[in-house]
Amino acid sequence: MLALYPEITPYNEVFLKVDETHTIYLEESGNPKGEPILFVHGGPGSGTEVKNRRYFDPTVFRIILFDQRGCGKSRPFSSLVNNTTYDLVEDMEKIRKHLKIDKWILFGGSWGSTLSLSYAIKHFEHVKSLILRGIFLCSKKDLDWFFKEGANNIYPDIWEKFIEQIPKEERSDLILAYNKRLTSEKTDVRKKAAIAWARYEASLAKLKSDHEYIEKISESHHADAVARIECHYFLNKGFFKEDDYLIKNAGSIKHIPTIIIHGRYDMICPFINAYRLHGVLPNSKMKIINDAGHSASEEGIALLFNFLDNIIKKF
């Protein structure tokens, strides 16, 4: 299982105002003079957890965590206003400048891999290396797999529970249908949709079903932010200028040392994403976890995390 470093408390916590609407939470822990590493959380909308800072050796790394717009400790909570991929990219750049960092390592999983790649493509001169897990490209194929045709063939029972929230005449576009409910002014409609969305995602997150995990995620206060913000991003196709944007623009980061970690049986972000990304990044190394799905807490992925510091030090 995952051998985390001992619990540590941040030596610096900041609420950084990034525009007229949003203030994001930012923290630093570990070694103030160590190698800067930015943990980029998933979702979008998940927020960070205390355990995230425990992935890294606190004597070696300057560990930086932040909650993206609308989630975690950032405010306003669950807000969709001025909340796009490129707003988040520029928030990361504001964090870098605020902390007076020249180059840093980006560590992102799932949506965190999407955002890390987006930042690196635009600000490659400030990225020392990338560590990416559970690659999500936010392409049409990704969204169709999860919300139209793909995952439903493997988990038809869970799929039925997900779509039963939506009238038959609206099921041709589940993202649009859910967005309508997740932005409803009726609290009960919004809550019901958020729980169904979060439960569907959590049910497919691990290779082996974890009922306790599913209940924890779906009934969480944060399910509202995850469901609303994810749906908002997916409805807008990640706010990218073109489909498959990350693959098409990966040429600008082909020089950056990159580690790609992916579960073979990932039902949320199919393995083909990692395979394709590795193919366009000649300076990347890929580690396939043959007994894992999507979640970072699965044993196969967790065991690899035990050697994370050694992997990073090789860059």
Domain ranges of the chain: 12-139+241-313, 141-238
Neighbours of 34 (CB within 10 A): 15
Residue 211 among the catalytic residues: no
| Mean pLDDT to the nearest integer, 253-278 | 97
292 touches 264 (CB < 8 A): yes
Q: Which of 22, 41, 262, 294 is catalytic?
A: 294
Task: Output the pLDDT for position 270.
Answer: 97
For the ranges 61-65, 195-199, 221-225, which has the lowest average pLDDT?
Answer: 221-225
Considering the candidates 266, 278, 284, 295, report the single residue annotated as catalytic.
Answer: 266
What Å distances lie between residue 12 and 52, 284, 314, CA to CA?
A: 16, 33, 28
CATH topology of domain 12-139+241-313: Rossmann fold (3.40.50)
313 against 83, higher pLDDT: 83
Active-site option among 74, 78, 79, 110: 110
What is the model's pLDDT at position 305? 63
Q: For residue 314, what pLDDT band results from cuts at 50, 70 and 90?
A: low
pLDDT tens digit sequence for 206-254? 998 888 888 888 777 789 999 999 999 999 999 999 999 999 999 999 9
| Mean per-residue pLDDT, 171-198 | 96
> Is residue 285 within a helix (H) or strand (E), and if so which, with residue range?
strand 284-289
What letter would DSSP give residue 124? G
Quick one: which H or E segment has residue 129? strand 127-133
* Confidence class for position 16, pLDDT limits 50, 70, 90: very high
DSSP letter, residue 14: E
Tell me, yes or no, if 123 is annotated catalytic.
no
Q: Are 263 and 300 in contact (CB under 8 A)?
A: yes
- CA gap 89, 252 in Å, rounded: 16
Write the pLDDT tens digit of every residue in 75-117: 999 999 999 999 999 999 999 999 999 999 999 999 999 999 9
Reference 191, options 213, 168, 223, 214; nearest CA is 223
Structure tokens at 270: 């199919």
Percent of the chain past pLDDT 90, that is, above it, reads: 85
Q: Which of 264, 268, 288 is nearest to 203 (CA)?
A: 268
Establish whether 294 is a catalytic residue: yes
